[in-house]
Structures are given as C-alpha cells and as structure tokens.
Structure 1
Amino acid sequence: MPRAPRSIAAAVITLAIAAVPLAGCATYEQELQRAEEHFTHDEHEKSLATLRALEEDWSSLSTRDRARYCYLRGMTDYRIGFKADARHWLAIALEIDRESPGALAPSEKQVVEEKLGELNQVVWAGDVLPTEEPPGTKAPKKVTTTKPEGEEGAAEPAEKKEEADDSPKPKKKKSAD
C-alpha cells in the first residue's frame, strides 16, 4: 500500500507537466481572441498592440489561428493606414489559405482578396513605399519669425538655402528683347 501514493503523485506530476504546453496554447488563443474583440470594436491601436505582442509566438498557433492572425493583422494595419504592412499580412493570410483550404472563412477570404487587390494597385502605381516611416521620426521644420519693422531688435528673415529647398520652382519667362 505505501506504493500507491507514490504512483498517484507521479501520475499527477506527469499530467501537470503534460498540461503546461496546452495552457500556453490557450493563452495565445486568448490573446488572438482579445485582438479580434478590439478589432471588432474599432479599437485598432489596441488590436495592433496585442497582435504585435503575439507575433513572436505565432508559430505556436494552429494553421487556422495563423490565418486568422494574419487576417486580423492585415486588416488592422489596413484600417490604421499602414498599407505596406497590411499588404504583407494579407498576402500571408491568402497563402496560408491556399496551402490549407478553409483556413480562412469564406467571408474573410473574400475581404482579403478584395483588399489585397486594392493594395497591389496602390503599390504598383508607386503610391506607397515598401516600408513606411513611423510618425514622429522626422525633425520638425524650424520656423523663424520677424518682428514688425521699426521695432528694436527686428530679426532678419533667415536666408533660404538652395539645397534644402525641394519645392518645385516656377519656370523663368524668356524676355522678348
């Protein structure tokens, strides 16, 4: 009889160890579900943050959940305006569905094909760069102000540098001599 508690303890430990990977998968699925809830409630920034946090573990997801992840990530990027990223993730979602038919729901597949076609036209027209610059990375332009004439310490307007001015110049008119 003293052996029974040991075998029960061993069985409990074995079951607990076997359940650990399943708990991890449930967590990934819960995170994906949370991202989807944010997406459906038009909380796109929250959805994108959740999906980005899940990105490094996406290989742990099932094929269906990978397709769902790519669909949500692509559509979230699309709605925020990250067109290059949206195109990337929607293309992956479509590829997963081609390799595993039914990975995307028919309505999702239709949306993916529609948006991907739209984004491809934008990219092929040259309207979007392969990688988009995140907001706030450019230094703000310096603005100089002048004081009204006659006021003491009136500042002279800053000289314009020819090389810094990228704006188109009007063509000079030819004089009729």
Structure 2
Amino acid sequence: MKIFASLIAFAVTLALTAPALAEGGGPTHHTKEELKEKMNLLFPPKEVNKDDQIIPAKPELTSPEYFAAIKGETVQLKWKEAKDAQEYHVQVATDANFKWLVADDQHVKATTFDVSKLEAGKHYFWRVASVRPNNWSTHRKSYFAMSMFETPATAETAPAK
C-alpha cells in the first residue's frame, strides 16, 4: 500500500510540473560570469582598506646601548620613531626569552619608556615593537627590536668572598 501511495504522489507531482517545464519554466543555465555577478549582488565582496595593510617599520633602539652598565634603580629606554607606527609595545625582562617580565606595556605613545625598581647585579633584556592598533585583520605589529643592559653589583650587593 505504501508503494502505491508513493507512485500516486509521484504521478501527481509529475502531472503538475510537466506543463511548467514544457513552457520553459525549467532550470536555466548560466555562465560562470553571470553566476559570479549574481552571487556578488547577494554577498558583496569586502572592501579592502589600504591603511589596514600597512606594516609598521621595526623601531631602532638608541639608549641604553647594548650591554651598558646602568647604575641606580631606574633607566630610561629610548628608540627612534618608526615609520607608520602609532604606538609601541615595550617589554623588559630578566631573561632572554621574556618569560620573567619586569614591564610589559602594549600602548606606549612616546619613544621613551622609564623602568624603575631595577635590582643590582642583574641583566635586563628589553625589546620594542611598532604597533598599528587598528590593523587587527593583517599586520598589526612589527618585529621586535631587542637589546640588553646590566646593573652591576655594588659593594653592598656583591657576594662575600
């Protein structure tokens, strides 16, 4: 009985659609370009903002020089303004892998950064990257420029011999 009902339903569907197919209401064939045009009308391609594709230049570190000896508890890090940079990401750490961060500021507007509470007898590694905050879709940040300095041990902090 189920087969008979299915055949009846098929026959009725065929009888109703056959005249429409005969009159040209059937499937139409479009070229690839026509389909592309129709799809772009439905889903327009995203417009590319050229400013979002600008890669900021890598900053050039100026002070303190590589392996400079810093006396005291503070230092001012300096670098040259990088082309197309809107702000800078500055990190200072006590290890070369930047695991033990002393400072981490992702929104530095100036080309200087003050670090305080330095401990004597340590090496400090620092790096700066140029950032374009609105470039989330492409290249937001330049490569880091890296350097290091040391805080030599004083007579008070030197280990006894």
Q: TM-score range by the shorter chain?
A: under 0.3
Between Structure 1 and Structure 2, which shows a larger proportion of helix residues?
1
Structure exhibiting the larger radius of gyration computed from Cα positions: 2
Between Structure 1 and Structure 2, which shows a larger proportion of strand residues?
2
